[in-house]
Amino acid sequence: MTFYQRRLHVLLIEDQQCQVELLKVLLESQSFFAVQLQVTRTLAQGVNRLQSGIFDTILLDLFLPDGQGIEALRTVQKFAPHIPIIVLTAATDLNMGLAALQKGAEDYLVKEHLRESQIAKSILYALERKKARRELQVQIERERLMARILEEIRQSLDLSVILQTTVDEVRKFLQADQVVIYRCYSPRASRILVAAPSSSLPANGDRRHIPERGPDSNGEPTEPIPCQTINSLRQLPLDEITLGPRAKDGVLIIPIRPQKPHQEDCLWGQLVVRVGDQKRSWLPWEIEFLCHLSSQVAIAIQQSALFAQVHYLANMDGLTGIANRRYLDHFLEQQWQKLAKHHQYLSLILCDIDFFKQYNDTYGHLEGDECLKKVANLLKKVMRRGTDLTARYGGEEFALVLPQTNKQGCQNVVIHLQSVFKQAQIPHRSSIIQPYLTLSIGSATMVPLPNVPPKQLIDWADQALFKAKKAGRNCHFSFAD
């Protein structure tokens, strides 16, 4: 019985006919494996055969008409870097054999001392050593990939960056056609977060228009992201794959399950790897590697969500639930730089609740806090675009930042705001203007300039607000007016 159940394909590069015949006899008479031998008599012929065929091992004479010594070995290695090479030397050239081992040959055989068991064992040992080195190299590459992703997790709390790095590296490492991570909300609802290659994302999917905001309070990226699934994945129903990895039709699906304290882990999303060959069998180490990777991604999701919550709380006004002054300044600076590059308009609206001190004196400070919350909710209703920002400017003053909005667009927002407040009819019996809550509004619009600070726009809107108050309140002034 042979050790190898399949036939081994051996290429012999030897110019001496007597040695060729001897090796044929020895290989055919050994019982360790079946062999199919192909013979070439020159180095050039051997290289041509390597380029057109598949071989398990190479027997190379180091003294050929067109190549000798280590140079001949290097030539073969160049065209067959992954095939084990056994060199043939004469009894007087043992130093050459040792030099060949140092340069990457798996073994060397002395022609004068060839035996059938010796050559068979040399081939088998060469194959096993090559296989072991290959597996070790794959293991090293896996560990390097894992280390790169872990380093990305440690250095970045931006979940979109971490996820994109993951799919890019997995696709490169496994040589897959497509790698996707998508978020699962229910067995019927999911949203693609990242894909590699990025061109595989659907071009006409619904998009969320919330750029330049960073992660939301759940730690998920809020950049424009397609919301529909990729049809080419032929994804499986989610309830079929929640218990573990699932492979089907060239697609491997690994669940991503962050574990929350004092809670059972739940399906957050899935890492999906697709290859073109639908009959491809996934190796155990590939599944194990991706499962381990998904656990690291789950940790990154938890870290990002925690950071996002802290970030959200740090930038949120604790009373009204909208952005605070700190985030307002940050957002305004961010938009200023962005719009200055594209020479686009930026509008700012400042609002002040009329006679709010009297409101507090009449209804009490607790009711005054509730009033501020109501005003914040009304302002949020007015903001229709994800690129806009509502913030508490300070005390009873609020700010609305409107990127890519000219003077007329700003005027339309103000008109809508006044209409919303008029319909709300929040009681204010201490107001000397109306028995309902009213706002004084100042606005300013400009195209940001790189050498001018955003404070210029704030000053202009503040001057317009002062004019509105001086004109009797419950009205709007634009700085341009």
Q: Does 308 share its domain with 333?
A: no
- Could you tell me which of 466, 460, 467, 476 has the C-alpha nearest to residue 415? 476
Among 254, 282, 312, where does a domain finish?
A: 312
- pTM, two decimals, is 0.52
Residues 360-385: pLDDT tens digits?
999 999 999 999 999 999 999 888 78
Bond prior to 284 in cis (omega within 30° of 0):
no
Give the H/E segment covering residue 181: strand 178-186
- Residue 148 domain flag: no
The neighbouring-strand residues paired with 207 are: none
DSSP structure class, residue 232: G
209 and 269 fall within a common domain: yes
Element (H, E) at 380: helix 365-382
Task: Read off the CATH number of the domain in which 39 is found.
Answer: 3.40.50.2300
pLDDT, residue 3, reads 56
Q: Is-contact 255 270, C-beta < 8 A?
A: yes
What backbone phi and psi angles, to 5 degrees, belong to 460?
-65, -45
The predicted-structure confidence for 450-473, as pLDDT tens digits, reads as follows 889 999 999 999 999 999 999 999
Element (H, E) at 260: none
Eight-class DSSP state of 346: E
Instruction: Specify whether 177 is located in the same domain as 298.
Output: yes
Q: Residue 77 burial by CB count (10 A; 0-12/13-18/19+): exposed, middle or buried?
A: middle
CATH number, domain containing residue 302: 3.30.450.40
Residue 153: per-residue pLDDT? 67
Same-domain status, 471 and 386: yes
Secondary structure, 3-state, 428-480: CCCCCCCCECCEEEEEEEECCCCCCCCHHHHHHHHHHHHHHHHCCCCCEEECC
CA distance 395 to 405: 26
Statement to judge: residues 62 and 130 lie in one domain: yes
How many domains does the chain divide into?
3
Residue 340 contacts residue 287 (beta carbons within 8 Å): no
Is residue 449 one of the residues assigned to a domain?
Answer: yes
119 touches 23 (CB < 8 A):
yes
Is 145 inside any structural domain? no
- The CA radius of gyration of the chain, in Å to the nearest whole number, is 36
Domain that holds residue 421: 325-478
Q: Which one, of 33, 35, 27, lies nearest residue 2 by Cα? A: 33
The answer to whether residue 150 sits within a structural domain is no
How is residue 122 written in tokens?
A: 């040399």
Residue by residue, what is the 3-state secondary structure of 16-82? CHHHHHHHHHHHHHCCCCCEEEEEECCHHHHHHHHHHCCCCEEEEECEECCEEHHHHHHHHHHHCCC
CATH of residue 360: 3.30.70.270
Query: Is residue 2 in a domain?
Result: no
354 and 461 both lie in a single domain:
yes
Residue-level pLDDT at 261:
58
Low-confidence ranges of the chain (pLDDT < 50): 1, 201-242
Question: 143 in a domain, yes or no?
Answer: no
Out of 268, 285, 312, a domain closes at 312
353 and 265 share one domain? no
Amino acid code (one letter) for 388: D
